[in-house]
Amino acid sequence: MTDTLVAETTSRDKQKLTRGLAKSDPLVAPVLSLAADLLGPIADADRNRIGLIMLGDNSAHHVADKVRTKLKARGRVSPIEFVNANSGAPIPVACTRLGLRGPTMNFVSGGEMTRTAADILARRWLRGGDAIAIVILESGLTDEGKSALSARLLKPGTDTAGREDVYLTAEF
């Protein structure tokens, strides 16, 4: 059964987590924040077997647009900005900063079919012993056009509807 009590990460910890990410995709900081909140009660030693799945169709579009604009205006772009403009940028940052070393996957689409595929993959990793927990992050846009992010922590024994999963959301 999944723990339902989530230890909230302090603002000082979150500042430390997001230090140096000024040029990254705006999605990176909320990914770090929500994942840190979900993983709060999990010991550092166990993080070697925690996986991460990200899905959504709006990843990195802010940064990619900025790169295109600068490229048109100046004819060049900083390599750092280019690297951060890929749709999978939040995954390695989150894994590195949070110490996650389990399996990872990035789906660059959203919707019910992608969500189902992510759940099937996560549960296969859990059943197969590849991971002791999986963080699933889903990005999207609200009806008002704001970016939104939801995060779930799945552990063995949680049902497919997610009723026992730890679940957090953020809009930015």
DSSP 87-142: TTTHHHHHHHHHT--S-EEEES--SHHHHHHHHHHHHHHHHTTS-SEEEEEEEEE-
Rg of the chain in Å (alpha carbons): 16
Does residue 78 lie within any of the structural domains? no
List the domain range (segments joined by +) for residue 96: 11-56+88-171
Of 128, 59, 58, which is closest to residue 88 (Cα–Cα)? 59
CB 136 within 8 A of CB 122: yes
- Give the pLDDT band (50/70/90) at residue 114: very high
CB 4 within 8 A of CB 140: no
Of 125, 127, 137, which is closest to residue 101 (Cα–Cα)? 125
Does residue 93 lie within any of the structural domains? yes
The Cα–Cα gap between 112 and 98 comes to 28
- Give the pLDDT band (50/70/90) at residue 105: very high
Residue 89: predicted pLDDT: 76
Burial-class residue 52 by CB neighbours within 10 Å (0-12, 13-18, 19+).
Answer: buried
How many percent of the chain have pLDDT more than 90?
23
The CATH number of the domain where 120 resides is what?
A: 3.90.950
Does residue 17 lie within any of the structural domains? yes
Higher-confidence residue of 104 and 18: namely: 104
Does residue 96 lie within any of the structural domains? yes
Does residue 42 lie within any of the structural domains? yes
Does residue 3 lie within any of the structural domains? no
Does residue 135 lie within any of the structural domains? yes
Mean residue pLDDT across the chain: 77
- Name the DSSP class of 57: S
CB 148 within 8 A of CB 170: yes
Structurally, how many domains does the chain consist of? 1
**Pairing state of beta strands 133-141 and 147-154?**
antiparallel
